Amino acid sequence: MPRTVRTFSVENIKDFKQLLLSWSQQFETALWLDSNKYQQHYTSFDSALALEEFTAIKTDYSNAFDKLKEYQSTTKDYIFGYISYDVKNDVEQLSSKNYDGLDFPDLYFFQPQKLIFIRGKNIEFHYLNMVADEIQNDFTDIQAAAIHIDIARATEENIKIKLRIHKAEYYAKVETILEHIKRGDIYEVNFCQEFYAENATINPAAVYQHLNDISEPPFASFLKMEQQYALCASPERYLKKEGSKIISQPIKGTAKRLISTIDDAQIAADLARDEKERAENVMIVDLVRNDLSKTAKKGAVQVEELCKVYSFKQVHQMISTVVSEIDPQLHPIETLRSTFPMGSMTGAPKVSAMKIIEHLEASKRGLYSGAIGYFTPENDFDFNVVIRSILYNEEKKYISYSVGSAITIKSDAAKEYEECLLKAKAMKYVLTNAK
């Protein structure tokens, strides 16, 4: 589908990004991706905003990857959207029967009429030819937009966060997982719990802006899909395709940031040497290597970086980078199909871990621990892992955020619970102003 491209230059990118997000709220469909200038390897752009469906696909998990394959193949254009965790049921003989307060479709992608990239100080408008005559007016309107994203008025005063699994029940479930590990059913499982609020109203763009400001992660995203929203401050990449190269960057291992520079450096160094955290990370690296080998050329899977500690505003994270090379003729959907869902959010062995997750977790994961991203016209793609995220159904007035941790044979239930609270801290703070 032909697009008209025009480039403008802007001096104050930080202000422009706020104006852009504010201006985008008038549209029914919007997806904003932001690297927060976190220039790690394999970054394609600083930010992107996709607006207004020209075409779209919205489906449940049944044959979801085949439907996406057909849609992506026939569109031959940029498409933006998400794959929810429950598309696992398309890949394996699994089901999702737990409670779902959000009702997001299992898979959703759209071909945007209007697409804007930020690279450095350049603002690139990639508009379908049918709306190309709106580029100049839109650029003028964005610059003139009132920044009505008021962080101070992001939420109501009375949002009450509830736990789907209470502390004692969480401890008991961790003990059940440890029994599974001792029996040899699994080595590791990523066990998650939901925090939620009912009959609650928020300003999604303002909550996202606040969450992003205090986190500044490299894979942030804001999704507006009519009355459903994802406010995502993810630090983790799931999978990226650059030509014949595939890149996966799983996270396993978390430590809190400390105010003292010396103490903060020490806790990061301790994380790098922590045997339990390294063991968790290496188990998932092995799983990712196995997943990537299904579509890779023989001997083409490599670990570029193992257990490296990266520091973000809220936490230190241990990240590994695994790459592979695929046959250029292989359809891009096949690499996603053969690796989904990401190992960092399931455990190992993957299918056994997913069965235990379904049995012990109290909520359907939905978009949480799924992936948000895009495809290019050249068949490349890039997807994050939907973690550190607030999901919101405006019509149902239901707010949800989930967190999890990896349970291994060395896990202590109390420490795992504390890790969950650490990961939940930023989401709780922007919703309730309570640390």
DSSP for 109-150?
A: EEEEEEEEEEETTEEEEEEEGGGGGGHHHHHHHHHH------
305 dihedral zone (left: phi>0; alpha: psi -120 to 50; beta):
beta
Beta carbons of 164 and 397 less than 8 angstroms apart: no
Average pLDDT, the chain: 95
Question: What share of the chain in percent tops pLDDT 90?
Answer: 93
In the predicted model, is pLDDT for residue 337 greater than 90?
yes
* pLDDT tens per residue across span 269-286: 999 999 999 999 999 999
* pLDDT for res 158: 80
* pLDDT for res 40: 63
* pLDDT for res 146: 64
Burial 45-60 (b: 16+ CB within 10 A, else e): ebbbbbbbbbebbebe
* pLDDT for res 155: 75
How many angstroms separate the CA atoms of 325 and 305, rounded?
Answer: 16
Instruction: Tell me the two tokens of residue 376.
Output: 């290019």
Main-chain dihedrals φ then ψ at residue 165, nearest 5 degrees: -125, 120
How many angstroms separate the CA atoms of 131 and 127, rounded?
Answer: 6
* pLDDT for res 144: 86
Instruction: Tell me the two tokens of residue 84.
Output: 């929810």
In the predicted model, is pLDDT for residue 53 greater than 70?
yes
How many angstroms separate the CA atoms of 174 and 177, rounded?
Answer: 5
How many angstroms separate the CA atoms of 205 and 209, rounded?
Answer: 6
Active-site residue, from 236, 277, 325, 358: 236
Q: Is the pTM of this model over 0.85?
A: yes
Average pLDDT for residues 180-186, to the nearest whole number?
A: 97
Query: Which residues make Cβ contacts (< 8 Å) with residue 227, sequence separation at least 6?
Result: 393, 394, 395
Instruction: Tell me the two tokens of residue 212.
Output: 């992003």
In 3D space, the residue among 222, 245, 264 whose CA is nearest the CA of residue 380 turns out to be 245
How many angstroms separate the CA atoms of 46 and 48, rounded?
Answer: 7
236 is catalytic: yes
H or E element that contains 73: helix 64-75
* pLDDT for res 308: 95
In the predicted model, is pLDDT for residue 61 greater than 80?
yes
- Helix then strand count (H, E) for the chain reads 11, 20
Q: Is the peptide bond before 112 cis (omega within 30 degrees of 0)?
A: no
In 3D space, the residue among 406, 34, 415 whose CA is nearest the CA of residue 217 turns out to be 34
Give CATH for domain 3-144+163-432: 3.60.120.10
Domain boundaries, the chain: 3-144+163-432
Instruction: Tell me the two tokens of residue 120.
Output: 């450095």
How many angstroms separate the CA atoms of 405 and 280, rounded?
Answer: 10
Query: Which residues make Cβ contacts (< 8 Å) with residue 12, sequence separation at least 6?
Result: none
Beta carbons of 122 and 8 less than 8 angstroms apart: yes
Cα–Cα distances (Å) from 88 to 119, 164, 289, 308, 345, in that order, read 34, 22, 19, 29, 12
Lowest mean pLDDT among 149-153, 182-186, 331-335: 149-153
pLDDT confidence bin for 153, thresholds 50/70/90: low
Query: Which residues make Cβ contacts (< 8 Å) with residue 273, sequence separation at least 6?
Result: none
Strand partners, 140: none
Active-site residue, from 252, 423, 425, 428: 252
252 is catalytic: yes
